[in-house]
Amino acid sequence: MVKRKKLICVTGLPGAGKSLFCEIGKRLGYELIIMGNQVRKEAENRGVDNDSESLSRLMRELRKERGNNAVANMCIDKINEITNENIIIDGIRNIEEIELFTKIGDVKIVLISNTSEQRMKFLLERKRSDAPIDKEEFNRRDSKELEIGLGQVMERADIIIENVGLIKEEYARKTESILHNLM
């Protein structure tokens, strides 16, 4: 019998600490699937800009064209190619994605939570092209994420990591402990 893969689906609002969670997971031996990279790749193929608004619009278009689990479907081949049984999937946005991943592996949902102020600070510090330019754009982005179903995924989290008031080392220790237990 083929052993099912462990799919750690990490979710949370932008800037909560998901990227650091993934970096730590990779260091511990997990394979990473970044769902946003699939959207960025599709944007490049279509000649769409790589800013937050354009990527968000494309993500919604993909879901309208191909269904709510469109981005998850774009990840399936890559997941199936991976020989490692421990995989972190970053960028879960709705329940339909979780349902799809449940068909191919044992899913655990990990929610990374943080304050709005800290998330905004993290987003500005990482200097990615899709970082919000101001508080208004930040709030708009959060609203769009919640509209497409992120809130429902967050409510179904199996594990919640509160990244509030933690220094990087504390958050890293907390994350390492959780990821070790999930292996």
Tell me the per-residue pLDDT of 157-180, one tens digit each, with 9 for 90 and over: 999 999 988 888 999 999 999 999
For the chain, what's the residue count? 183
Q: Which domain holds residue 59?
A: 5-182
State the pLDDT at residue 129. 62
How many Å apart are CA 135 and CA 21, to the nearest integer?
A: 24
Amino acid 174: pLDDT: 94
| CATH number, residue 72 | 3.40.50.300
Q: Model-level pTM?
A: 0.86
Residue 159 is predicted with a pLDDT of: 96
Q: Which pairing describes strands 159-162 and 31-34: parallel, antiparallel, or unpaired?
A: unpaired
Q: Is 165 helix (H, G, I), strand (E, B) or coil?
A: coil
For the chain, the helix, strand and coil percentages under 3-state DSSP, each to the nearest 5: 55, 15, 25
Mean pLDDT across the stretch 82-98?
94
Counting the structural domains of the chain, the total is: 1
Instruction: Look at residue 1 in the predicted model and tell me its pLDDT.
Output: 52
